[in-house]
């Protein structure tokens, strides 16, 4: 088998939840619509290697949150239960890949000390020295460096990198400085895990007029036909956001919503299996 032919399957794991107005990701569209959105991790499996993308959050982070109406709920127990549902224990995870190191994506890093772990170098450096607005928003929690320090093989990726197992890592800043996109080749094509840049499918495809919620309910939403992509209040660098989305559109099997798996997308939580 050629390395490029490596085929994976993808499972979304719901590692927590928060309630947000749609406007958090959509500018002014649907100002009265509040949605329960998931905090997602992903399992990537090819029969020989088990990869976990992001490790969720910790219950005690919620007590310290200082970001207005965002109410994240998640815990180590939820992560362990999600893994157990897939027949896995933390020691079964061979590899961990981080989309970025925000509190709701890296909270349980120390559960996987023996897994080969990939994070963008820019993200790691920013986490060590957050800017004042990031500190005010608690993007990174003070205990994250200590948790990451327990990982024996932490690989700091500098830009774009193709792994020998067929997975591809790309630097995609905008939401965070070192956001990392993961491209996963599957029997059904190339899927793109975007992390929080962007966090939902309708941010990439602004003209979407329906969204599927976590329980499968289909909701009509207001499309925007005037712009291709929607940013929101969690974008910190709008220039980079657009550049990253264009890069992601070129990396997918086709530039269509079904190939994009953002970390806070309700439909991605509902569908669960990909590839
Ligand atoms: Zn984030």
What is the whole-number distance in angstroms between the Cα of residue 240 and the centre of ligand 1?
A: 15
Q: What's the total number of domains in the chain?
A: 1
CATH value at residue 29: 3.60.15.10
Where do runs of H (alpha helix) occur along the chain? 23-26, 59-64, 76-85, 103-106, 121-128, 132-137, 144-149, 201-204, 238-251, 266-271
Tell me which range, 63-77, 128-142, 173-187, is most confidently predicted by mean pLDDT.
173-187
Question: If you average pLDDT over every residue of the chain, what do you get?
Answer: 93
List C-alpha distances in Å: 28 to 31, 33, 205, 249.
Answer: 6, 11, 16, 24
Q: How far is the CA of 236 from the centre of ligand 1 (A)?
A: 10
Distance 237 CA to ligand 1 centre (A): 13
| pLDDT surpasses 60 at 4 | no
Q: How far is the CA of 223 from the centre of ligand 1 (A)?
A: 24
User: 157 CA distance to ligand 1 centroid (A)?
Assistant: 18
Residue 268 has pLDDT above 60, yes or no: yes
Ligand 1 centre distance from Cα of residue 264 (Å): 9
Distance from Cα 5 to the centre of ligand 1, integer Å: 31
CA of 52 to the centre of ligand 1 (A): 17
Query: Cα–Cα distance between 120 and 44 in angstroms, integer?
Result: 19
- 195: CA distance to ligand 1 center in Å? 7
pTM of this structure = 0.95
Q: Are 266 and 211 in contact (CB under 8 A)?
A: yes
2 alpha carbon – ligand 1 mean position (Å): 35
Distance 9 CA to ligand 1 centre (A): 24
CA-wise closest residue to 30 among 194, 206, 242: 206
The answer to whether 234 and 72 have CB atoms below 8 angstroms apart is no
Distance, CA of 114 to CA of 93 (rounded, Å):
9
pLDDT at 62: 77
Residue 138 falls in which region: left (phi positive, over 0), alpha (psi -120 to 50) or beta: left
Ligand 1 geometric centre to CA of 140 (Å): 9
Ligand 1 center–CA 244 separation, angstroms: 15
SS3 state of residue 232 = coil
What integer is the mean pLDDT of 204-219?
Answer: 95
267/253 Cα distance (integer angstroms): 19
Range of the structural domain that residue 124 is part of: 3-274
**Is pLDDT at 127 greater than 70 in this prediction?**
yes
Say if CB 109 and CB 55 are below 8 A apart: yes
């Amino acid at each position: 088998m050629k390395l490029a032919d490596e085929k994976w399957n993808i499972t979304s794991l719901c590692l927590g939840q928060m309630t947000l107005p749609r406007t958090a990701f959509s500018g002014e569209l649907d100002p009265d619509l509040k949605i329960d959105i998931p905090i997602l991790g992903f399992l990537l499996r090819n029969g020989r290697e088990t990869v976990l993308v992001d490790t969720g959050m910790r219950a005690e982070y919620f007590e310290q949150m200082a970001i207005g109406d965002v109410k994240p709920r998640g815990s180590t127990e939820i992560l362990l239960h999600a893994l157990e549902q897939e027949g896995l224990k933390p020691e079964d995870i061979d590899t961990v890949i981080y989309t970025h190191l925000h509190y709701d994506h890296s909270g349980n890093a120390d559960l996987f000390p023996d897994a080969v772990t990939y994070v963008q170098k820019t993200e790691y450096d920013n986490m060590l020295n957050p800017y004042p607005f990031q500190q005010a928003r608690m993007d990174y929690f003070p205990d994250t460096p200590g948790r990451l320090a327990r990982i024996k093989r932490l690989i700091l990726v500098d830009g774009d990198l193709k792994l020998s197992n067929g997975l591809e890592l790309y630097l995609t800043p905008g939401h965070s400085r070192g956001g990392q996109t993961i491209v996963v080749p599957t029997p059904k094509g190339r899927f793109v895990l975007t992390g929080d840049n962007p966090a939902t499918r309708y941010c990439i495809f602004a003209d979407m007029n329906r969204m599927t919620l976590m329980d499968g309910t289909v909701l009509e939403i207001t499309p925007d036909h005037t712009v291709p992509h929607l940013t929101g209040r969690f974008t910190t660098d709008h220039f980079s956001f657009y550049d990253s989305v264009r890069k992601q559109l070129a990396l997918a099997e086709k530039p269509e919503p079904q190939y994009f798996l953002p970390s806070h997308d309700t439909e991605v939580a509902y569908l669960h299996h990909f590839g």
